[in-house]
Structure 1
Amino acid sequence: MKYFAIVGCGHIANKHIEAIARTEGAELLALCDTNQARLDDLRAVTTAKLYTDMAAMLQAEPRIDVICICTPSGLHASLAIQAAQAGKHLIIEKPISLTLADADAIIEAVASSGVKAAVVHPNRYRPAMKQLKRALEEENFGKLSHVNATVRWNRNQAYYDQAPWRGTKLMDGGVLMNQAIHNLDLLLWLFGPVAKVKSIVDTRIRDIEAEDVAVAALKFESGALGTVEAATTIFDKNLEESIGVFGEYGYAIVGGKTANWIKEWKSSKMTQDQIESLIRDIEHDPFGVSGHQCIIEDMVRAIDEGRSPAVTVEDGKRAIQLVIDIVDDGYIG
């Protein structure tokens, strides 16, 4: 049995609580948050011990194997380092940090402590994304001309106003670091490293410090071109999230309000029966097992098998490196 604790009990902590409960060989031992009222609200859904200080939790609960860091992003580094130095394995919510220096500090603490650490990029586990990854590995689209990632979402002013850290550069980041980070991770995971970035980034609609809209042109080391469009300014509702790939032998678009459905798929390297079967499988179960549960399960196995987690802290650093490159090149606010 692997014993888990969660530090930071905002909305995202509920996904970790559910994922741990559904994972064989995992048990939630403790919750930690500086807000006692928030902890009290969780009493109805868990029997875990409650703490308002992580150091006190570590001292009182020596059985803890893994700590899930679910605080505002600007706090990830200090808490992750503290947990690693205490010999605890880590699952860190996205983004791993808001700066490269903090990411490097986490990576160093993990290496020197000999613990395992994963970053929560759960969209890799979506059934359609796994099929897209497989198709790319089998070169079913041939040489790629270009790819794209689109995030057209609504986060209204009330969303940002619900907590003073939201939308700040120090604690939260903007649309790229907070919302589109998942899609940038997918671009890197699916298509490899980015060699060049040209972008325009601005704060157009929301009253926040960080950007609320960004567009970027990328060139991957493979030679493929890419585009990114990310916004939280879309009126009224989430409109679209998609990943598209276009190559010499075909194309695919995985999209919808969330990128869970195959909207287009054509490949001269696949039979029509293969394509139709793939699409039917995705339509039958577009969500699959929760990505958070997959990450929890993978951590349990990684500890047992003495290997690195599937989504590493180095992966987390590469995603924020791309965010920083886009913002640094293009911010005009």
Structure 2
Amino acid sequence: MRRVVLIGSGEVGAKHAEALTRTDGMDLVGVADPSPVIAPPGRVPLFARWETALDVLAPDVVVVATPPGTALVAARAAARGGVAVLVEKPATLDPAALTPAPEDRRIFVAFQPHFAPGLAELLDQAPTIHRAEVTLVCRRDRAYYRSWRTRYATAGGVLHQQAIHGLALALRLLSPGPIASCAAEVQHVRQWAESEDRISAEITFEDGTLLTVDARVDSVGQPRRHEVTLHIEDGQRMHVRGRNLEAGLGDPLSAPGDLALRQAMYRALPADDASPRHPSLFPLPALSRTLEVIDHAYRTARNASEAGTAA
């Protein structure tokens, strides 16, 4: 049985708490949050400071579910203690903050959709991809944009918060070359927060590979989906499907649920530095490229009015 400490007891932390208590081999022994939104389950003790929880409980696994910035600090502190750490995306909004640190080898980013059917084999085989298309269609209401999500400086935009699952997957499969060009446009219509309602981007890398993104959270009357289409060098296409990639390369009608994907992610966490790494685990150092591409898209994007005219 692995002892788990959860840092963060908000909306996302509550999802982890529920899933961890339902995962064989995982024992949630403590939750740390100075201002919990949701009480820990059962008799799990609550700590005001995560440093205290780590010292007192001596966990084997730490799950960090706090806003960007705080998440990276807590994750690295936990990893320095020698435990496996799972941190919620995006961990930080600043690519420069991911300057490599020795403890980063023990930190993994929480992308449970990457455990969807067929994706471990895909990541392990790493076929040559010359183009990837990331599509996101979802709906967020006003209540979603509260507290830290209200401002871009603390939450980031659509690419950081919603489309990052597909972007991170695509960028692990595309070549790691520098960005040659980027054409992007953002639309901000509802004015509920600093985050935009839609962003589209076309990013070309120096070796000619291409990444396109169409991500929107303002959609009404459209089926919700978050998918990645991969164009393989031999002309074939692979489609990672689902409301949030959960069908993977399999049949959407038999896609696993969120709980099953989370449980697979928890179980894949290595026991020590010598343990083999599951292909679907997303290592923290790989997040640097994802954040660099996101940062470049936003820095070069033009703003568009509701009618689509450049501002």
TM-score bracket for this pair, using the shorter chain length? 0.7 to 0.9
The reply to whether residue 226 of structure 1 matches residue 211 of structure 2 is yes
CA RMSD in angstroms comes to 3.0
Aligned to 1:127: 117
Report the CA distance shift for 1:149/1:3 in structure 2 as closer, same or farther (over 3 A): same
Structure 2 Cα separation of the partners of residues 28 and 57 of structure 1: 12
The reply to whether residue 171 of structure 1 matches residue 154 of structure 2 is yes
Report the CA distance shift for 1:109/1:19 in structure 2 as closer, same or farther (over 3 A): farther
Q: Within 5 A, what are the aligned runs for 1:153-164?
A: 153-160=138-145, 163-164=146-147
Q: TM-score, normalised by structure 2?
A: 0.82
Structure 2 Cα separation of the partners of residues 118 and 256 of structure 1: 23
**Rg: which structure is higher?**
1
Report the CA distance shift for 1:241/1:314 in structure 2 as closer, same or farther (over 3 A): same
Structure 2 Cα separation of the partners of residues 320 and 181 of structure 1: 9
- Report the secondary structure of 1:293's partner residue: helix
1:108 to 101, 111, 130: 101
The reply to whether residue 254 of structure 1 matches residue 208 of structure 2 is no
1:199 to 147, 169, 184: 184
Report the CA distance shift for 1:15/1:178 in structure 2 as closer, same or farther (over 3 A): same
Q: Within 5 A, what are the aligned runs for 1:308-327?
A: 310-327=281-298
Report the CA distance shift for 1:292/1:37 in structure 2 as closer, same or farther (over 3 A): closer
Unaligned runs of 5+ in 1: 263-277
Report the CA distance shift for 1:89/1:38 in structure 2 as closer, same or farther (over 3 A): same
- Report the secondary structure of 1:324's partner residue: helix
Structure 1 Cα separation of the partners of residues 84 and 184 of structure 2: 37
Sequence identity (%): 24
1:47 to 43, 47, 60: 43
Q: TM-score, normalised by structure 1?
A: 0.77
Q: Which has the higher helix share?
A: 1
Structure 1 Cα separation of the partners of residues 81 and 247 of structure 2: 42
1:298 to 244, 247, 268: 268
Structure 2 Cα separation of the partners of residues 84 and 304 of structure 1: 11
- Report the secondary structure of 2:147's partner residue: coil
- Report the secondary structure of 1:319's partner residue: helix
Q: Deviations over 1:98-122 (max 9, x none)?
A: 1123222xx42615xxx71111122
Shift of 1:47: 3.0
Aligned to 1:56: 52
1:67 to 49, 56, 62: 62
Structure 2 Cα separation of the partners of residues 37 and 182 of structure 1: 25
Structure 1 Cα separation of the partners of residues 247 and 30 of structure 2: 36
Report the CA distance shift for 1:132/1:82 in structure 2 as closer, same or farther (over 3 A): closer
The answer to whether the Cα contact below 8 Å between 1:94 and 1:316 also exists between their aligned partners in 2 is no
Report the CA distance shift for 1:33/1:198 in structure 2 as closer, same or farther (over 3 A): same
Aligned to 2:72: 77
Unaligned runs of 5+ in 2: 305-311
Structure 1 Cα separation of the partners of residues 277 and 122 of structure 2: 24
- Report the secondary structure of 2:155's partner residue: coil
Structure 2 Cα separation of the partners of residues 123 and 87 of structure 1: 26
Shift of 1:217: 0.7
The answer to whether the Cα contact below 8 Å between 1:194 and 1:218 also exists between their aligned partners in 2 is no
Shift of 1:313: 0.9
Structure 1 Cα separation of the partners of residues 66 and 28 of structure 2: 17
Q: Which amino acid aligns with 2:155?
A: D
Report the CA distance shift for 1:65/1:165 in structure 2 as closer, same or farther (over 3 A): same
Structure 1 Cα separation of the partners of residues 238 and 80 of structure 2: 44
Report the CA distance shift for 1:15/1:252 in structure 2 as closer, same or farther (over 3 A): same
The reply to whether residue 32 of structure 1 matches residue 32 of structure 2 is yes
Q: Which amino acid aligns with 1:329?
A: T
Q: Deviations over 1:203-252 (max 9, x none)?
A: 23342123332111122465332310111111267633221133544323
Q: Deviations over 1:237-291 (max 9, x none)?
A: 76332211335443233334333447xxxxxxxxxxxxxxx85xx3563127733
The answer to whether the Cα contact below 8 Å between 2:6 and 2:30 also exists between their aligned partners in 1 is yes
Aligned to 1:329: 300
Q: Which amino acid aligns with 2:282?
A: V
Shift of 1:297: 1.1
Q: Which amino acid aligns with 1:168?
A: R
Report the CA distance shift for 1:110/1:188 in structure 2 as closer, same or farther (over 3 A): same
Structure 2 Cα separation of the partners of residues 237 and 58 of structure 1: 45
